[in-house]
Structure 1
Amino acid sequence: MGIFDEIKKKLSHEFIDIIEWLDYTDDTIVHRFERYQNEIKNGAQLIVREGQTAVFINEGQLADIFTPGTHTLSTQNLPILTTLKGWKHGFNSPFKAEVYFVNTHLFTNEKWGTKNPITLNDDRFGLVEIRAFGTYAFKINDAGKFVVDIVGTDANFTNFEINEHLKSLISTRFTDTIGEANLPIELYAANTSELSDTCLEVMQHEFNSVGISLEKFFIENVSMPEELKKEIFEYSRIDKLDLDKLTKFKTAKAIEAAAANEGGTAGAGMGMGMGFVLAQQMGGMMNPMTGQQPIQPQQTTPLAPPPMPVQVQYFYAQNGQQAGPASFDQLKVLFANRTINKDSLIWKQGMSNWTALKDIEELKSFLGGNTPPPLPGI
């Protein structure tokens, strides 16, 4: 072999066309390989690393796709591009094509959240608003579809550009899923794991339609206004307590608060009243110590008090089951706390059938706005 052949061989090795992309970022999804006039030589070396896919685009049309490995570009491994170019017997001169490198690794810890509150209709609390936020992870599972449908001619496509679209999609589908779940409002925060799995399944199809696989979806928090949260806590406590005991407890607290308010008239009166009672009790305790008998009031024939009125007991329907009995005052508390409503079925002794609360005369006062009938003769 002559010296010129050796030089020619050496030069041919030194000037082999190499197409590759080294990603030094953590947010690039697609990078277009830049080449003057997009010319690629026959026999060029294409290097696709793990976590990458190379996509060839010819005049806006999707051509060949290469997975990780080293590929020598020729008509044998460019079948689609060969057909589009019309190479019947191979090619020798440089050809033009755009090469896009697609990152196929997992993009993690992407944030999502509801931009506006989600309005739900709860059976006990009426219309309520909640917000939610969390994270998700995705990767490209169809590089060709993603480049054609989403990237277009963008030379450097980042996850920031796709995240806005994905977050809008997530927010919409999350709202639909939450509405269809129809859970009591306090259970949304307690079932984030189950809701996350359901949302992942619902959203997967739409992500796949643009070449993306939604790998993970997490709901980290479901929040509600503070006043609604306090109302739910209060309702939960009342639901667990005996209403009669609760009424007595609150009455005792009110008496204690009134007695402590010495600056007010009611507090002073309460204080004097309690003072008289204490004085009498102390006097009774002191008399045995001094040997003196307490002054007894003149004995009179005691009058028999009238019999105590019988308190009407009501039964009510809750979640398809009978509950009760409850007194009139207890029933009023249940209505105020939205445990029952105007359409709840009520029964008491003497009634032949269960009747809606709004149709029982003595219970209409719960509804408010009652107007007495006109006076006779007017």
Structure 2
Amino acid sequence: MGIFDKIKEKLSHEFIDIIEWLDYTPDTIAHRFERYQNEIKNNAKLIVREGQTAVFINEGQLADVFGPGTYTLNTQNLPILSTLKGWKYGFDSPFKAEVYFVNTHLFTDEKWGTKNPITLSDDRFGLVEIRAFGTYAFKISDAGTFIKDIVGTDANFTNFEINEHLKSLIATRFTDTVGEANLPIELYAANTTELSETCKEVMQPEFTSVGISLEKFYIENVSMPEELKKEIFEYSRIDKLDLDKLTKFKTAKAIEAAANNEGGTAGAGMGMGMGFALAQQMGNAMSKPQAQQPQAAATPPPMPVATQYYYAQNNTQQGPVSFDQLQALFASRTINRNSLIWKQGMSEWKALQEIEELKPFLGGNTPPPLPGQ
């Protein structure tokens, strides 16, 4: 073999005739095409397959971008690179440029989740904490911007390298979105589809700014502490129950519990409020002197008239309701200690906590002061 044949053979190995990317894994997003001293032969063939984009970088500057197809690399197909290199009359010698292949297919089933609980304010339950997790899918929509802003000089860029950044972005925007939604706490888990669509719209501009398109975004679960779940379920049941039936049921449970209690504590089923009310009535009856029973009563005494109460809700008068119904309203949080109450004989409306016979609702067990003190 002559000296010229050896030189020709050496140059044929150093200068690239075909530029293509075949060997890649499903998680590879960008791959830099490696060749000897970055030299590419004039009129070399560039093959870009479906699901790929080829990006040419010249001395750190973004040059030409090619979609799927086969190209002959010359000044006509490399207008930006030709301008950067200042080729006015074409070029015959090999030229240097970095070539990145970008995988533009859809990356699916990517996981996201909130690392820390999100604190929300609810009108009925106060400050509450929730967590959320789900999946998302993305693809590269602008390969040039993605290479310039994200990949840099990384020779083999995978979705693992971008996922941590994307998950942090999603968690931050999700927190902002649910905080501004101001939904009742129980509706977050029941409206994941609508919430997912809203979050996707909010996040899309930030993905697009770095050449990425957020194609799918799903919230799979919104979780909260078990104690809060139980309280929400209990509130939901009470909200749908007939208050009169609920009062009768609670009273029956209280009588049953009192009968089974060896200590005689009345109203264990209704809680401390009903227990104190029943105990007060029993004490008053036992403290009265026993009158001598007549030999024969002509007629029974008249039935006592039950006190009827009115209460204010949303600046509207409600009622009348009985003592037991009023207690059930207090237990279901329809009214509270500051709710205004009125009954016949009162000169004005007063807060529930200021009415003596209703104070047992609050659960206190301190007796009133002795007369004269």
Same fold, TM-score > 0.5, yes or no: yes
Q: What do you get for the CA RMSD once the two structures are aligned? A: 3.5
Report the CA distance shift for 1:344/1:83 in structure 2 as closer, same or farther (over 3 A): farther
Report the CA distance shift for 1:256/1:344 in structure 2 as closer, same or farther (over 3 A): closer
SS at match of 1:134: strand
Give the letter aligned to residue 334 of structure 2: T
Question: Structure 1 residue 321: deviation in Å?
Answer: 6.6
Residue 330 of structure 1 is matched in structure 2 by 325
Residue 41 of structure 1 is matched in structure 2 by 41
Whether the 8 Å CA contact 2:308–2:320 is kept in 1: the answer is no
Question: Structure 1 residue 371: deviation in Å?
Answer: 10
Q: Distance in 2 between matches of 1:103 and 1:82?
A: 25
Residue 339 of structure 1 is matched in structure 2 by 334
Report the CA distance shift for 1:350/1:19 in structure 2 as closer, same or farther (over 3 A): farther
Whether the 8 Å CA contact 1:358–1:367 is kept in 2: the answer is no
Give the letter aligned to residue 118 of structure 2: I
Q: Distance in 1 between matches of 2:345 and 2:126?
A: 34
- Structure 2 gap ranges (5+): 1-7, 266-293
Report the CA distance shift for 1:187/1:16 in structure 2 as closer, same or farther (over 3 A): closer
Residue 281 of structure 1 is matched in structure 2 by none
Report the CA distance shift for 1:373/1:258 in structure 2 as closer, same or farther (over 3 A): closer
Q: Distance in 1 between matches of 2:350 and 2:138?
A: 53
Q: Distance in 2 between matches of 1:350 and 1:94?
A: 106
Report the CA distance shift for 1:343/1:356 in structure 2 as closer, same or farther (over 3 A): farther
Whether the 8 Å CA contact 2:340–2:350 is kept in 1: the answer is yes
- Structure 1 gap ranges (5+): 1-7, 268-297
Q: Does 1:314 align with 2:310?
A: yes
Written as runs of structure 1 = structure 2, the 5 A alignment for 1:173-322 is: 173-256=173-256, 300-302=296-298, 304-305=300-301, 308-318=304-314
Q: What CA deviation, in whole Å up to 9, does each residue of 1:235-265 have, x standing for no partner?
A: 111111123322332343455566678xx57
Report the CA distance shift for 1:300/1:190 in structure 2 as closer, same or farther (over 3 A): same
% identity of equivalent residues: 78
Residue 51 of structure 1 is matched in structure 2 by 51
Q: What CA deviation, in whole Å up to 9, does each residue of 1:17-44 have, x standing for no partner?
A: 1110014411111111111211111111
Q: Distance in 1 between matches of 2:157 and 2:341?
A: 65
Give the letter aligned to residue 301 of structure 1: A
Whether the 8 Å CA contact 1:346–1:356 is kept in 2: the answer is yes
Report the CA distance shift for 1:84/1:333 in structure 2 as closer, same or farther (over 3 A): same
Q: Distance in 1 between matches of 2:149 and 2:82?
A: 23
Residue 145 of structure 1 is matched in structure 2 by 145
Residue 117 of structure 1 is matched in structure 2 by 117
Equivalenced residues, count: 335
Report the CA distance shift for 1:341/1:52 in structure 2 as closer, same or farther (over 3 A): farther
Give the letter aligned to residue 307 of structure 2: Q
Q: What CA deviation, in whole Å up to 9, does each residue of 1:190-222 have, x standing for no partner?
A: 111110111111111111111111111111111
Question: Structure 1 residue 326: deviation in Å?
Answer: 3.6
Report the CA distance shift for 1:347/1:31 in structure 2 as closer, same or farther (over 3 A): farther
Give the letter aligned to residue 104 of structure 2: T
Whether the 8 Å CA contact 1:32–1:155 is kept in 2: the answer is yes
